[in-house]
Amino acid sequence: MYLPAEVCVVLPGQPIGRRLSPNQTQEMITFACRKPWQNADSIVGDGRAVLGLNPAANSIAGAFGIQVGSSLVTVAARVLSPPQIKYKNARTKQETVMVPRFGSWNMANVQFHTGSNLGRWTYIHFTSNRRGDNFSAADLQQNVTKFRAFLNNSGINANGFIQVPPPPTVNLVDGENARNDSIIRDIFRRFHTAAPEVKPRFVFCVLPYNDVALYNSIKTVGDTKAGIHTVCVVGSKFMKQNRQEQYFGNVSLKFNLKAGGINHTLDAGKLGIISEGKTMVVGLDVTHPSPGSKEGAPSVAGIVASVDKWLGQWPADFNVQTGRKEMVEALESMMISRLKLWQKRNNNALPINIIIYRDGVSEGQYQSVLDEELPLIRNACRQIYPAEATKQSFPKISIIICGKRHHTRFYPSAEKDADRSSNCEPGTIVDRGVTEVGAWDFFLQAHCCLQGTARSAHYYVILDEIFRGVKPTGQHKNAADALEDLTHNMSHLFGRATKAVSLCPPAYYADLLCTRLRCYLSDQFDPQETSATPSVASGSTGTKSKDDPIAIGEALKDTMFYI
């Protein structure tokens, strides 16, 4: 029997098997967001009833003689104190210290710890017929001038502003993505071929609205074709007068990181062995095709690594590989590139310790990381380190698997132990009661959750050659305390925010890198969207080719272009 779609009715409550749009995702999160105590009550109330676990005569569990308690498990936890955040005083240019409250802090009246020089930079104002801007070109130019003054006051040298063709205003047509993409490519082609004295290093892009296709086009062309840093803002937000200082501050964080600066640091004592300048920290992640991606779409592996003891800069490398393969295929060459960069930034010295935070690995793949990825890392070290060092088992390597896709949630047992959003306080550590007996793992909630129930990051140590060999000092009683405290303190070093983040920055940066790579491969990962951005890693046929790598511009290669 065949019926037209118009007369069919979809029953409510059906799961959707494809990727949601950004607006749908936001609506879903808003709808599902509740206070933590409401979720806890649902688990022990409605949850037991739905699963048939209530002690009723006709319950499913009762038929099998199973009894389930009516309350959640209570476990012991500790709250680690936050580290002090170091900036520069805007007047004296000396170091100034801030103490986070509720997991965040304010950088008003201070400068970045290490300011950068933007070099030549300019801006482009993109307009669209979908929605007219309520500001003129003169108003925007005036606001850019104010923003330039803000950058200078923050410690960034932004005096290299230039006015170069094409004109600062570019008109786009909504829905005509191929035309818009061609216009953007032409603009950046002219930037790229301009004379050296007028070729910009940064292009500040003012967008008419938040559009995925437009953003993908700008990032793909700027990063992979022109070799020019781009920073995108939405015009209505950039021009808003109230809370303008805060918005300028958030954007300036990206400028300083991309230009090679260090936004803020911690006291050396809070970074343990890293403060000695002989330990490289690595973040590793792999992104896979999502539901709705093209058949045969590739996976992309990304790696970031620190270059000094300040943990302020994390240059990246990546590789397009076989689709849905979790293990990193080109890890050996990627690791060699990170070690060579460390060598270049540290007077030809090599790190004696390498701490790796590996993201995106399920429990069933922990052994695969040791069997497949660890040998590649050791092979890379053998090619770079002198024979004497490798004979003495240098460098020492520790691998920590981290992830947030788990179903463990923690709720404060008393109101006095809760923060403003009724979650556990930032810095909460749980390393007993619900962790594995024969393994080394812990849960850390370093951040302050804005809404809903906070989700702790789960860290699982699958290899340690570093922390067990170091004698605990100060308040650390053992190697576990040292690693937990280090991970918590590092969570305050995420350069794109003035707050502690939920995932340790190496893994967080690697995730951001993979997200940026999805922009370059948008026609592979999001073919259902209106993006007309041609894939960088594919030929004209549109099929994936992992032998044709994404080519990041030479000027961007050793920078945090993905921020």
Residue 268 half-sphere exposure, CB side, CA atoms within 13 Å? 5
Residue 133 one-letter amino acid: D
* Phi, psi angle pair for 490, to nearest 5°: -65, -30
User: Which of 112, 314, 315, 123 shows the shortest CA–CA distance to 231?
Assistant: 123
Structure token pair of residue 451: 């809404």
Under 8 Å between Cβ of 206 and 140: yes
Under 8 Å between Cβ of 491 and 505: yes
Distance in angstroms (rounded) separating the CA atoms of residues 85 and 107: 10
pLDDT of residue 165: 65
pLDDT of residue 547: 47
Q: What is the pTM of this model?
A: 0.94
Residues in the chain: 563
Q: Over the chain, what is the mean pLDDT?
A: 91
Radius of gyration of the chain (CA): 25
pLDDT of residue 548: 52
Structure token pair of residue 192: 């790229």
pLDDT 10s digits, 390-417: 999 999 999 999 999 999 999 999 999 9
Under 8 Å between Cβ of 113 and 88: yes
Confidence of residue 544 (pLDDT cuts 50, 70, 90): very low
Would you call 30 exposed, middle or buried from its count of C-beta atoms within 10 A (0-12, 13-18, 19+)?
A: exposed
Rounded average pLDDT over 364-377: 97
pLDDT 10s digits, 172-216: 998 899 999 999 999 999 999 999 888 999 999 999 999 989 999
pLDDT 10s digits, 507-534: 999 999 999 999 999 989 987 544 445 4
pLDDT 10s digits, 2-28: 999 999 998 988 888 777 888 898 899
- Say whether 392 sits in a helix, a strand or coil: coil
Distance in angstroms (rounded) separating the CA atoms of residues 306 and 215: 28
Q: Which residues contact 340 (CB under 8 A, 6 or more apart)?
A: 384
Q: What percent of the chain has pLDDT over 90?
A: 76
Burial 411-449 (b: 16+ CB within 10 A, else e): bbeeeeebbebbbbbbbbbbbeeebeeeebbbbbbbbbb
pLDDT of residue 528: 53
Under 8 Å between Cβ of 244 and 162: no
